[in-house]
């Protein structure tokens, strides 16, 4: 096992180095991921084909602002695959506000993830109405957005203006095909980046191939 940092780990499994996080809830699996114990510490393998944040790490992500004790706003948690690994990383003194508007997936998320993890505050709300997240206090270090909506960039910007601290990071998953099927993915990404430029420095754009065909991850730093 190589300990590159405190946030995530590379663990040998079936002869290959695999990405993992230290499990905050011992024995608990979220999406049937493999659990591996080494030197008395339990790790959960983090599957890049299931999580776009894991895919970004596999594809040379250069900044990783999710740390022990970080405060995160996560829009579009779905059933909780990625947020569960962020929960491992930020640890018991960190906090993640997890927003989801679809009540059926939110139920699954509550049952399988949020109910086991005290550092996740579930918010059953529309990300278009950020002023209605009454449980958020103070500003966050990172805003993570994965909502696959045509106006996702505008939604991300509005949420950052209210909740992201200065010099905080935005992780924005761009579903290149959900915005306009007639445009090329590169053009879609460029247009979304242009919308961010007024308030953000673009740090990196990551193509998520081969883990995910239709998405890119944009990492941007908030400068207001
Ligand atoms: N981020 C998840 C992961 O990595 O495990 C996957 C997210 S999935 C692609 C997109 C989610 O965003 C869906 O569960 C959808 O219901 C949710 N969503 C879409 N529009 C939303 C909105 N306006 N407000 C809140 N959630 C929204």
**Which structural domains are found in the chain, ordered by start?**
2-45 (3.30.200), 52-222 (3.40.50.150)
Kindly tell me the number of DSSP H helices and DSSP E strands found in the chain.
Answer: 6, 11
The strands making up 164-175's β-sheet, listed across from edge to edge, are: 120-124, 95-100, 71-75, 140-145, 164-175, 215-222, 200-207
As a residue count, the chain comes to: 224
Residue 38 tokens, joined:
């080494």
Residue 178 is predicted with a pLDDT of: 54
Task: Supply the pLDDT for residue 174.
Answer: 93
Counting from 1 in the atom list of ligand 1, the atom nearest the Cα of 175 is 9
Give residue 100 CA to ligand 1 midpoint distance, Å. 6
- List the beta strands (DSSP E) in the chain: 9-13, 16-22, 35-38, 41-45, 71-75, 95-100, 120-124, 140-145, 164-175, 200-207, 215-222
The Cα 192–Cα 180 span in angstroms is 12
CA 121 to centroid of chain Cα atoms:
15
The ligand 1 atom nearest the CA atom of 78: 14
Is 215 within 8 Å of 207 (Cβ atoms)? no
The pLDDT of residue 180 = 61
Other beta carbons within 10 angstroms of residue 147's beta carbon come to 22
How far is Cα 45 from Cα 106, in angstroms, rounded to an integer?
23
Dihedral angle over CA of 37, 58, 208, 156, nearest 10: 80
From the CA of 119, how far away is ligand 1's center (Å)?
19
Segments in the chain below pLDDT 50: 1-3
pLDDT on residue 65? 98
Other residues' Cβ atoms within 10 Å of the Cβ of residue 2: 9
d(CA 81, ligand 1 centre) in Å = 11
CA–CA gap between residue 157 and residue 164 (Å, rounded): 10
**Quick one: pLDDT at residue 1?**
43
The two three-digit tokens of residue 200, written as one number = 């953000």
Q: Whose CA is nearest to atom 10 of ligand 1?
A: 147
Whole-number pLDDT of residue 3:
47
The predicted structure's pLDDT at residue 6: 82
């Amino acid at each position: 096992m190589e300990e590159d940092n405190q946030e995530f780990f590379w663990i040998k499994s079936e002869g290959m180095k695999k990405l993992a996080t230290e499990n905050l809830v011992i024995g608990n699996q979220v999406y049937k991921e493999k659990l591996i114990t080494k030197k008395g510490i339990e790790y959960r393998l983090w599957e890049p084909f299931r999580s776009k944040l894991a895919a970004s790490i596999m594809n040379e992500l250069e900044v990783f602002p999710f740390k022990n004790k970080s405060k995160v706003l996560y829009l579009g948690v779905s059933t909780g695959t990625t947020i569960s690994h962020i929960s491992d990383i930020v640890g018991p003194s960190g906090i993640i506000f997890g927003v989801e508007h679809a009540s059926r997936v939110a139920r699954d998320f509550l049952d399988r993830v949020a109910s086991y993890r005290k550092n996740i505050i579930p918010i059953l709300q529309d990300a278009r109405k950020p002023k209605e997240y009454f449980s958020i206090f103070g500003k966050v270090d990172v805003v993570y957005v994965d909502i696959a909506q045509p106006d996702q960039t505008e939604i991300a910007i509005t949420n950052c203006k209210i909740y992201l601290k200065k010099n905080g990071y935005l992780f924005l998953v761009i579903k290149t095909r959900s915005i306009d099927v007639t445009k090329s993915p590169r053009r879609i990404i460029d247009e979304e980046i242009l919308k961010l430029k007024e308030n953000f420095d673009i740090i990196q754009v990551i193509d998520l191939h081969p883990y995910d065909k239709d998405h890119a991850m944009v990492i941007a730093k908030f400068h207001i």
